[in-house]
Structure 1
Amino acid sequence: MNIHVSAFRWVPPFAQGYVRDLRVRWALEEAGLPYEATLIDPDVQASEAYREWQPFGQVPAFRDDAVEIFESGAIVLYLAARSEALAPADEAGRARMMTWVISALNSIEPFVQNLVQLDVFHAGEAWTVERRPQAEAMLCKHLAALGAWLGEREFLEDRFTAGDLMMTMVLRELANTGLLERYANLGAYVRRCTDRPAFRRALEAQLKPFRENEPTAI
């Protein structure tokens, strides 16, 4: 099977290790599926040819011998349906896996992104002084619920699945906020999942072209 995943040739340091092709790379590494990264730059990103593959010009986009799809959640679910490394074989187990993938994207990520947008893209702007405590409070409400469910479990269910992969990728964006220290079991969960060899391989695969294509200072 020939698998291609689009990824950026280079991004600024603050985004390195967080671009969403990492979600797909990790899933592929867990599943033991070889792939080729199609590296794009802003010109390719804006091109008509790329927009036929990814209508919004984002990454990742995915193709294999059977499909062309985009959106990291959709791609991870597609791979999970084809690999027992990412999902249990039984129908109930697969349904729970899908529930956690969607939960990560719908119940947690929007609140994480609200905070990240304030801290990264609007840092220092006066209006954030009042808005940030509200955004943090809403996020913490959801983190508390997630932490209560996780409890002392190793994973969200009785084994690692694509649901854990997606939830971990969403939660690790809070690394510089102090919130993962506040919810200790969630912080331990993220560390446990990102210690997996497949994640380490995926992260290195994303970072390697960033090092190789670092702009030269003039």
Structure 2
Amino acid sequence: MLRLYGFSRVNPIAHGRTRDLRVLWALEEMDQPFELVGLDHPAKELNTAAYRAVSPFEQIPVIEDDGLVLSESGAIVLYLARKTGRLIPADAAGAARVERWCFAALNTIEVPLLNLQLMDFVTHDSGANEYRGFLVQWAMRQLGALERWLEGREYVANDDFSVADILLSHVLTETDDPALLDSHPGVREYRERCLSRASWRRTIERYRERVEAG
């Protein structure tokens, strides 16, 4: 059976935002059984030689499946989609469109949003305002392009929900800044459309019941 390394306890600021949720959501959508190995992040269970053997950067998530050990949430959800034939089209062109938007979610959209999130977590120094303003402009540019792309589309890559939508909509949970979202109602609506799926609601509810914030 597939084994997934996820969190059992995480710092309160990250609770409900962690990247194992992307894999948990994909597995829920695909109706795939798995064994969950919960790790305690504050207790430094990720910072061991044994865990580094499966996760070079001491990060979650990781899966073990039929002898394959794989880290990185994007790589994992694409692997699961290809293996199960779920959440990715069978034709090469359709699959390529999903792959494109998986990379866009993690490289083009997430970078400015994550930088803003991290900056707001660690500093309230007014001297940082100029850099934050740069990050906001960067995020606005990327979200503006996404807003234009989503016009007339229900999902980002093809007509059907895919693993690209899992990655992208989860990336978009990294901000609730009204300055960003109020300017891009199509992006907000897309995010809420994806997060309203029953599979996500089950995933986040089980996560909150199981994962301790501490």
TM-score (norm 2): 0.93
How many residue pairs end up in the alignment? Answer: 211
Q: Work out the percentage of aligned pairs sharing the same amino acid.
A: 37
Query: 1:18 — aligned with what?
Result: 17
Query: How far apart are residue 84 of structure 1 and its match?
Result: 3.5
> Does the CA-based 8 Å contact 1:168-1:193 persist in structure 2?
yes
> Does the CA-based 8 Å contact 1:152-1:185 persist in structure 2?
no
Secondary structure (helix, strand or coil) at the match of 1:17 reads coil
Secondary structure (helix, strand or coil) at the match of 2:6 reads strand
Query: How far apart are residue 176 of structure 1 and its match?
Result: 4.2
Query: How far apart are residue 47 of structure 1 and its match?
Result: 1.1
- Structure 1: where are the runs of 5+ without partners? none
Query: 1:70 — aligned with what?
Result: 71
Say which is worse superposed, 178-187 or 51-60, in terms of deviation: 178-187
Letter in 1 for 2:51: Y
> Considering only aligned residues, what root-mean-square deviation do their CA atoms show, in Å?
1.5
Query: 2:2 — aligned with what?
Result: 3
Deviations 1:23-56 (A, max 9, x none): 0001111111011221112332111111101111
- Structure 2: where are the runs of 5+ without partners? none
Query: 1:30 — aligned with what?
Result: 29
Query: How far apart are residue 214 of structure 1 and its match?
Result: 5.1
Deviations 1:145-183 (A, max 9, x none): 011011131111211111111110111111245422220
Query: 1:141 — aligned with what?
Result: 141
TM-score (norm 1): 0.91
Secondary structure (helix, strand or coil) at the match of 2:187 reads helix
Q: How many angstroms apart in 1 are the aligned matches of 2:149 and 2:128?
A: 31
Query: 1:154 — aligned with what?
Result: 154
Deviations 1:90-134 (A, max 9, x none): 111111110110111111111111111111222x12332111111
Structure 1 residues 177 and 66: alpha-carbon distance in aligned structure 2, compared to 1, 3 A threshold: farther
